[in-house]
């Protein structure tokens, strides 16, 4: 049912349930979710009314060739124009005037008062230069609301629509070009940083190819003894890879605003049996968790499937993190984690990661295998179909 609702209908329903008539948004993942548009400067605002067309306010310097082609009113505000007197004041007046024309009062305008994780815009790694006082004015003028409103709006991110799923599938396909390079190049003598750079370049090269106007990856490569840290943090270093070592890649890929989050483990050459065993246990635990993914199951069920198995195999205390999380509009998307005792019930349209891991200092091996999985009406579909063996042939 939820999947058959259009994105426009689901936003409208969430706003009505929250007793609001419009939503003012600006964070990258919100704009992507509501409009399909990935901002360049990260300074695009969208006023999304329940009735009438959404209005997209873009800074004067924004590129215009990727803007949504129809269904949106686009207005420009004078940010970035040399000596423009007061771009934020101008933008605020534009929003006020539009609300007046739409007959919507300020207390009927929702906004998410959320300063935590955001996905990046396309321009460098710096967060957008949204004026602090402007945001404070927004929060005090409009109606950030309570926990109930927050929950209703954030819930929207967790159910993906057909075209969004296609975009996440594309992100996973593009990520695969990076994984191909990872398996081919992970050899003794290369540094983690060199391997990471090659993977990221391969993914960036996809830009301009069919349907891909933006493609960027963060490839975090950990090798040998560094893999035992990979359950605590992901970080590429200059370490040179040696013979007989595991190499883990944590790969965040953004294509056109949609995200893939994958982990693979390979070896620089034949691993010892005790290291291979860890790989096998993680691989089997992931299969067991995947089998559980279907509507009606809870996140706790999924986590338990992986965790029980890893515990039974004697590695329980080395599986130190959650089994997964939502992904798609962000690398780590809105929504509850796939954690022990998790109560969220899976629904069709959810896209989650399944990523059990074992990090065993005594065996000098950390291992995690991660895929992105769509919950379907009847079960699930893995959106990341890249092989996940220890080598490409397996």
Q: Which of residues 234-263 bind a second copy (CB under 8 A)?
A: 234-240, 252, 254
Q: Does 209 bind a second copy (CB under 8 A)?
A: yes
Q: Does 69 bind a second copy (CB under 8 A)?
A: no
Q: Which of 67, 74, 193, 392 binds a second copy (CB under 8 A)?
A: 193
Residue 309 DSSP SS3: helix
Task: Tell me how far, at minimum, the Cβ of 180 lies from a second copy, in Å.
Answer: 15
Task: Tell me how far, at minimum, the Cβ of 204 lies from a second copy, in Å.
Answer: 4
CA distance 79 to 86: 8
Q: Are residues 28 and 120 in contact, defined by beta-carbon separation less than 8 angstroms?
A: yes
Q: Which of residues 259-318 bind a second copy (CB under 8 A)?
A: none
Residue 221 DSSP SS3: strand
Q: Which of 44, 119, 158, 260 binds a second copy (CB under 8 A)?
A: 119
Q: Which of residues 340-369 bind a second copy (CB under 8 A)?
A: 340
CA distance 219 to 24: 33
Q: Which of 4, 151, 320, 391 binds a second copy (CB under 8 A)?
A: 320
Q: Which of residues 140-179 bind a second copy (CB under 8 A)?
A: none
Q: Does 335 bind a second copy (CB under 8 A)?
A: no
Q: Does 132 bind a second copy (CB under 8 A)?
A: yes
- Judged by beta carbon, residue 213 or residue 283, the one nearer a second copy is 213
User: Count of residues binding a second copy (CB under 8 A)?
Assistant: 73
Task: Tell me how far, at minimum, the Cβ of 379 lies from a second copy, in Å.
Answer: 27
Cα 161 to its chain centre, rounded Å, is 15
Region binding a second copy by CB under 8 A among candidate stretches 59-67, 276-284, 370-378, 380-388:
59-67
- Judged by beta carbon, residue 215 or residue 384, the one nearer a second copy is 215
Region binding a second copy by CB under 8 A among candidate stretches 18-26, 204-212, 288-296, 365-373:
204-212
Interaction pattern, residues 21-40, with a second copy; x per rule: CB under 8 A? -------------------x
Residue among 86, 64, 89 at smallest CA distance from 75: 64
Q: Which of 12, 36, 54, 120 binds a second copy (CB under 8 A)?
A: 120
- Judged by beta carbon, residue 321 or residue 364, the one nearer a second copy is 321
Contacts of 100 (CB under 8 A, 6+ apart): none
Residue 370 DSSP SS3: strand
Q: Does 115 bind a second copy (CB under 8 A)?
A: yes
CA distance 265 to 220: 12
Helices 132-141 + 87-102 axis angle, to 10:
20
Q: Which of 154, 313, 332, 364 binds a second copy (CB under 8 A)?
A: 332
Q: Which of residues 79-108 bind a second copy (CB under 8 A)?
A: 80-83
CA distance 380 to 282: 20
- Judged by beta carbon, residue 240 or residue 290, the one nearer a second copy is 240
CA distance 371 to 344: 19
Task: Tell me how far, at minimum, the Cβ of 119 lies from a second copy, in Å.
Answer: 6
CA distance 87 to 74: 16
Across 210-233, b (16+ Cβ under 10 Å) vs e yields eebebbbbbbbbbbbebbbbbbee
Q: Which of residues 214-233 bind a second copy (CB under 8 A)?
A: 215-216, 218, 220, 229, 232-233
- Judged by beta carbon, residue 36 or residue 337, the one nearer a second copy is 337
Provide the 10 A C-beta neighbour count for residue 127: 11
Long-range contacts of 134-143 (CB under 8 A, 24+ apart): 134/88, 134/91, 134/92, 137/92, 138/24, 138/92, 138/111, 139/111, 139/113, 141/106, 142/24, 142/106, 142/107, 142/109, 142/110, 142/111, 143/20, 143/106, 143/107, 143/108, 143/109, 143/110, 143/111
């Amino acid at each position: 049912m939820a999947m058959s609702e259009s994105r426009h209908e689901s936003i409208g329903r969430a706003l009505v349930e929250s007793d609001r008539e419009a939503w003012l948004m600006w964070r990258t993942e919100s704009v992507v979710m509501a409009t399909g548009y990935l901002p360049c400067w990260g300074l695009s605002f969208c006023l999304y009314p329940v009735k009438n067309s959404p209005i997209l306010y873009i800074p004067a310097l924004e590129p215009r060739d990727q803007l949504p082609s129809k269904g949106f009113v686009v207005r420009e505000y004078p940010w970035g124009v040399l000596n423009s007197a007061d771009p934020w004041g101008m933008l605020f007046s534009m929003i006020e005037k539009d609300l007046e024309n739409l007959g919507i009062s300020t207390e009927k305008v929702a906004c998410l008062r959320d300063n935590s994780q955001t996905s990046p815009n396309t321009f460098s790694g710096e967060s957008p230069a949204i004026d602090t006082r402007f945001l404070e004015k927004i929060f005090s003028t409009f109606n950030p609301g309570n926990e109930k409103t927050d929950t209703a709006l954030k819930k929207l991110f967790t159910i993906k629509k057909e075209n969004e799923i296609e975009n996440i599938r594309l992100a996973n396909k593009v990520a695969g070009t990076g994984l191909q390079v990872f398996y081919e190049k992970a050899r003794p003598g290369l540094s983690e940083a060199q391997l990471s750079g090659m993977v990221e370049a391969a993914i960036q090269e996809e830009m301009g190819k069919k349907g891909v106007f933006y493609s960027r990856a963060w490839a975090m490569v950990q090798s040998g003894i560094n893999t035992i840290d990979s359950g605590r943090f992901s970080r590429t270093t200059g370490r040179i890879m040696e013979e007989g070592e595991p190499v883990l890649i944590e790969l965040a890929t953004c294509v056109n605003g949609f995200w893939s989050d994958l982990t693979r483990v390979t070896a620089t050459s034949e691993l010892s049996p005790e290291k291979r065993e860890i790989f096998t246990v993680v691989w089997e635990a992931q299969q067991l968790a995947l089998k559980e993914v279907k509507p009606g199951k809870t996140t706790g069920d999924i986590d338990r499937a992986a965790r029980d198995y890893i515990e039974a195999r004697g590695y329980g205390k080395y599986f130190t993190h959650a089994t997964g999380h939502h992904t798609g509009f962000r690398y780590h998307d809105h929504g509850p984690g796939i954690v022990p005792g998790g109560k969220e019930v899976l629904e069709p349209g959810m896209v989650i990661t399944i990523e059990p891991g074992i990090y065993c200092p005594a065996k000098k091996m950390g291992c995690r295998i991660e895929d992105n999985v769509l919950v379907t009406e009847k079960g699930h579909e893995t959106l990341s179909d890249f092989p996940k063996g220890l080598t490409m042939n397996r």
